[in-house]
Structure 1
Amino acid sequence: MQADHALGLFDGQLKAQNRSEHTLIAYHNDLVQFFDFAALESGVEPEQLHVDQVDIYIVRSFLGQMTDRGLERKSMARKLSALRAFFKFLCKEGILQKNPVQRIATPKLGRKLPHFLSIEELNRLTQAPDCTTLLGARDQVILELLYGSGLRVSELANLNRQDIESDSFLLRVRGKGNKERIIPLTRYALEAIRNYLAMREDNQEALLLNYQGTRLSVRSIRRILDRLALESGLSHHLHPHMLRHSYATHLLDGGADLRSVQELLGHAKLSSTQIYTHLTKERLREVYEQSHPRAKKM
């Protein structure tokens, strides 16, 4: 099968799995870059490359070239993740019999602690929208759900009206792999949702709409957050995941157990949640060193 045809099938599979727009674009671009390299190595034009022409030596040469170009290990790991997912899909579908990436080791990464907002910063941020206007009320919903319920930005964009269980203060969320989970709604979030929907004069099922009356995209949510960060005086770029990080960190700071936070975040593995314990330990160390007389440096 030609590589570009196989890539089209793989893109369709990722969309069916409800993967984020960012992942779709990143994986697609990484694979196109790899195909160009593999075609050059195989002595054919990219559109003539077949997936069964790729072997472990081509994969290793590609990764070697990326290393020579000074590519960061995090970016290298992402490209390798795209290749793993792609060739695993081809083998599962019976398009390939042998996976050329199976014996390639993933480069070890130094794990960075996620950034999160302080309570004071969050208070300033949630006071930024003008809730007397339709779009301001919508922006308030965005903030209350990203921080109050720890949603991924893709989960937020895909929410529908019927996902809100007002009587029980619960929210039905479809996460990675189209897995559904039920998480609590804060009183602030529910009030923001009710205020926003009361201003709407449409029958659209999407919870969040843009100014044209269609579903709000992930990219638009990112732009809205950047604007709100600027309006509230935050000195740094506000990524949607920063609000999710803040949600998890503040839960653990408040005494929540790790397993509960894992379930609320929709993490498949506990190790994905454990990074937040490192974050709180680092913060405790800073508080201790700044506050205890025995900890202060001479």
Structure 2
Amino acid sequence: MKYSEIFKQKMEIARYGNSTIKSYTAALSIFFKENNQFLVTDINEKIIEAYLVKIIREKKISAAYQKHLIASLKLFYKMVFNRLLNIDDLFPKRTEHKLPKYLAKDEVKKILSVVTNLKHKAILSALYGCGLRLSELINLKIEDVDSKNEVINIRNAKGKKDRQVMLPKSLLPLLRSYFKTYLPKIYLFEGQSQEQYSPRSVQAILKQAAVIAKIGKVVSPHILRHSFATHLLENGTDIRYIQKLLGHNNLNTTQIYTHITDVAKSKVLSPLDF
């Protein structure tokens, strides 16, 4: 059995999420491919440090990717070889604080208005209207939609947690029309052969809609999630309620959206306007 398969199997036994398993194995695959002059068993702290210096200088990798790669390597060698890598000093010491990118309300409206395909419109409306992660959307099953109580149940989401989000009144008739037309069997949104809808297909749908709507910004499913949170804050929704809707463990994670809305709502004039 290949080392990657052993690692994947051990993570599955340890109940790591599918997205974590995929991202960790993908990061390791790139690392070992670019360091294939060394045996996997010969990789050490100096090799890892030299590689990090190289990709920081040449590829300008983000601090987040750096942390992700180091965590992947630590877990891999611990699980597969029972070996503790001494690389904690390679974690970035400064945390990047970037404001989340989001769309204005009229930009979201334009995107949704140009989508003519019923399934595509339902997918994008659910992403934005419920503040879902892409993985949460494609994992939704038919029984997760509780129309009686006007909620959608998000099961086994990030951190192995379940939560509920609102089922928007305007989304329900759209979902009903979609259901009657496409007749999904298991998952709410299915591709061919009753399989889960592809994440890449969702991204492509949104990208195409943004182009048609002439939105001159990079648009992704996660930006729709950021937009959901920002627009709720702008509308006066309590941030602790938004925290629960987004499934954040820590309120500080949700607080970043207040930096956007505080500036937008402030009445402080720029000296240029004096």
Where on the TM-score scale, by shorter chain, does this alignment land: which range? Answer: 0.7 to 0.9
Q: How does 1:1-298 map to 2 (within 5 A)?
A: 5-12=2-9, 13=11, 17-20=16-19, 27-36=24-33, 40=37, 44=38, 48-50=39-41, 53-69=42-58, 71-74=59-62, 76-88=63-75, 90-91=77-78, 93=79, 95-130=81-116, 136-174=117-155, 175-201=157-183, 204-210=185-191, 213-285=194-266, 288-289=268-269, 295-297=271-273
1:43-102 per-residue CA deviation (whole Å, 9 max, x = no partner) reads x4xxx421xx33332222221222332x3251x5414313313423543x4732423323
Normalization by structure 1: what TM-score? 0.79
Q: Which amino acid aligns with 1:160?
A: K
Q: Name the count of aligned residue pairs.
A: 271
Aligned equivalents of 2:33, 2:108: Cα separation in 1: 45
Q: Which amino acid aligns with 2:110?
A: R
Structure 1 contact 77–107 (Cα < 8 Å) conserved: no
1:98-134 per-residue CA deviation (whole Å, 9 max, x = no partner) reads 233233332524322222121212222222233xxxx
1:192-240 per-residue CA deviation (whole Å, 9 max, x = no partner) reads 11111121345x2111123665421110000111122223332333211
Aligned equivalents of 2:225, 2:237: Cα separation in 1: 15
Range that drifts further, 60-69 or 94-103? 94-103
Q: CA deviation at 1:248?
A: 0.4
Q: Percent identity?
A: 27
Structure 1 contact 17–176 (Cα < 8 Å) conserved: no
- Does the C-alpha gap of structure 1 residues 212 and 232 become closer, same or farther in structure 2, counting only changes over 3 Å? farther
Aligned equivalents of 1:283, 1:73: Cα separation in 2: 31
Structure 1 contact 19–177 (Cα < 8 Å) conserved: no
- Does the C-alpha gap of structure 1 residues 36 and 139 become closer, same or farther in structure 2, counting only changes over 3 Å? closer
Aligned equivalents of 2:77, 2:251: Cα separation in 1: 29
RMSD: 2.8
